[in-house]
Chain A
Amino acid sequence: MTATGTSATGVTGVTGMVLNIQHFCTHDGPGMRTTVFLKGCSLRCKWCSNPESIHPKPELAYNLSKCIGKEQCGACLSACPESAIFNVDGDAKVRINWDLCTNCGKCVPGCPPQALYLFGQEMTVEQVLDDVERDGSVYRESGGGMTLSGGECQLQADFAAALLAGAHERGINTAIETAFNVPWSHVEKVLPHVDTVLHDIKLTDPAAHKAWTGVDNTRIRENIKRAYEAFPNARFIARTPIIPGVNDDEEHIRATLAFIRPHKNVVDYELLPYMRFGESKYGFLGKVYEMQDFEPPPPELMARLRAIIDEAFGRTPGRAAR
């Protein structure tokens, strides 16, 4: 992220790396929302459904089914300075040698069917907010707003803070989705501008957390606890992606409840069943999807685990807080 100036209403000219702006989202906070996905993540969860969000910079993707072939086009073959795009005898379409690709993007402009494209673009705060504000009436009617997601949106702390502050100035409700695996200094910049914080608690055991996400959860838990206490006016909603065989046990749910319940600004605890949404994107990025043998958790299991949460929150089973 780069900053080029400030104004009375916040930072202007600030840019950040944006993956996507998705309108009319219903699962990323209260009401109907626009979710802004920021690039870069500090975890490597094996079940990640947004692998295109991990790399902090623009990253090449290739959808082979869209390639019209060397005979009709072949522009990328000469455009690549790294010998990373090639063609094999007897095959019409081009191939990518991901070990040689440097994500320079020189192949992208000359690809008519957009089989080659870059995930991520640099945008200013104003560009993002102008796009978000298009749905202002929807937010007002539904109680929605803007949600920053990722990747880990707090990694781009200055950009995220400017976006959130700018949204508030435009009267837009704010939320973030975060795993809190960032230095506390980032949290201090971002959270003053957030109305609702949706944060993950993926695993309880530090060693298991490291095995499945790449880092242990010591600092994450410290950050979460500290955030609960430092930002009493924000609404916190804890979340766990339920991965069969990894964290689908009652013990993890009860341990998480014990962690969050003493804090009154934690208004809910949501369970998100593992889905294989991101699988095809791994192929487009030349990455390995390590969870091919994992199936979504059965509905009965989800219901049983959610009943534990409902009981802890003292509400009728099946009724969420929002």
Chain B
Amino acid sequence: MNAHAKRIGLNIGGGYVPGINSAITGVVLASAELGWEVVGIRDGFDGVLFPERYPEGGLAPLGAPVVEMATAGGAPLLGNATRSDPFRVRRLNADNTVQEVDRSGDLLAGLAAAKIDAVVSVVGPQALSILFRLHRQGLAVVCVPTSVENDVAVTQLSFGFNSALSFAVEMLERVRQAAQATRRIGVVEVPGEHAGWLALQAGIAACADAVLIPEIPYDLERVAARLRRKQEAGGHFGLVVVAEGALPAGGERPDAEALATHSMKAALSPGATGPMGGHVIEGTGRAAHAVARHLQRLTDRTTSPLVLGPLVKGGAPTAVDRQLGLGYGAAAVRALAEGCSGVMATFQPPDLRFVPLGEAINKVRTVPSDSLFLQIARSLGICLGESEVMS
């Protein structure tokens, strides 16, 4: 890494999450303090790889005046790419043939031509691998973790999670009120393909009757028994939170066909990979509907599935995510100033530290079996669908 970097490229490698503008602001303001310049790379790396697509230029100047005019919850200061992989860029050749080509060399050359000394990349767990590979090719980069599922390894808290959690809790409370009024069982699905943090913490905060997470294969008979006991005690409604990757004990959901995906997380997930190697999370909404349908059979009561899905990724950031975004952005600049590269900024309370990207890839931060949150949930009588309750 060039310890004297003066011009930083900043890009967003994942989808929008609350706090993006705070992270951008953190990078810009911390750079300004050092007298450094920041330029935004539009849409992941597309602004460099495909400058012809941007009449206004593939790079967006991001000075202090620009970020000071923006609000944390307003329109994003910089476009993102849901997937930006310079190693496999689909190209339509002049002879009308389609080909996937490695354009990582073009990317590095483009960054050099733009006199960008280092890149700060705001990314989720999947894009970390691509940044790791680019770093091995010579890119000076510092990553900032973002995930509403809080599943990026090595860091305690990715920004975006706290905002998603707050929104999910509010929605759960509304669902509970509606379920109470209509004497139904509300089944709410929240993001969490492989990590159940959002379901678990939101479920605790809303005092749900049951929380089903990918880390614990569930037995719906247990959930039904919990709801029956509640009904016998006069509680004529129920609230069940299910992470989208939660699966029944013994394997795949009955309605789940084997499905492949390019997601790195698919390869990572023991729970989401069926016996034939297929990926069994079929998409947003399937978990809620499967659980609601089966619970209705088991309890003979009306159930209402609701899928929060991408809704949790919108809206204004909480105070925690604003601080975290600013802190992560500033930390990334500090890493570059200290001569670090090929690292990810991590929050390991009470510190913001830097870990090599090689330690952050090929991992997902899941809920461990001795998690304090699991203990709290059990103490509160929240059913986790376990076949045999562990304590």
Chain A residues at the B interface, C-beta cutoff of 8 Å: 41-44, 55, 62-65, 82-83, 86, 88, 90-91, 93, 95-100, 155, 181-183, 214-216, 219, 279-280, 282-289, 292
Contacts and interface: CB of A to CB of B under 8 A. Distances in A.
Interface in B60-94: 85, 87, 90, 92
B267 A96 contact: yes
Contacts of A65: 275-277
A64 B273 contact: yes
Contacts of A93: 270
19 contacts: A41-B98, A64-B276, A65-B275, A83-B132, A88-B270, A88-B364, A97-B361, A98-B267, A99-B126, A99-B133, A100-B361, A155-B97, A182-B95, A283-B258, A283-B261, A284-B277, A285-B260, A286-B260, A287-B262
Interface of B: 85, 87, 90, 92, 95-100, 126, 129-130, 132-133, 257-262, 264, 267-268, 270, 273, 275-279, 282, 358, 361-364
B270 A98 contact: no
A219 B259 contact: no
A44 B98 contact: yes
Given A65-B277, A288-B260, 11 more contacts: A42-B97, A64-B277, A83-B358, A88-B363, A96-B267, A99-B85, A99-B126, A100-B132, A183-B95, A214-B98, A284-B277
A214 B364 CA distance: 34
B277 A283 contact: yes
Contacts of B363: 88
Given A86-B362, A97-B264, A215 B259 contact: no
Per DSSP, are chain A's interface residues mostly helix, strand or loop, or mixed? loop
Contacts of A95: 267-268, 362
A64 B278 CA distance: 9
A93 B270 CA distance: 9
A289 B246 CA distance: 22
Contacts of A219: 96
Contacts of A155: 97
Which 3 A-B pairs have CB atoms at the shortest separation, nearest pair first?
Answer: A283-B260, A42-B97, A64-B277
B92 A215 contact: yes
Contacts of A43: 98
Nearest to A55: B100
B96 A42 contact: yes
B278 A98 contact: no
B199 to A, nearest CB: 19
A280 B267 contact: no
Contacts of A280: 258, 260, 276-278
Contacts of A82: 133
Contacts of B264: 97-99
A279 B95 contact: no
Given A91-B270, A99-B85, A214-B92, A288 B261 contact: yes
Contacts of B126: 99
A63 B277 contact: yes
Given A42-B97, A42-B98, A287-B260, A83 B362 contact: yes
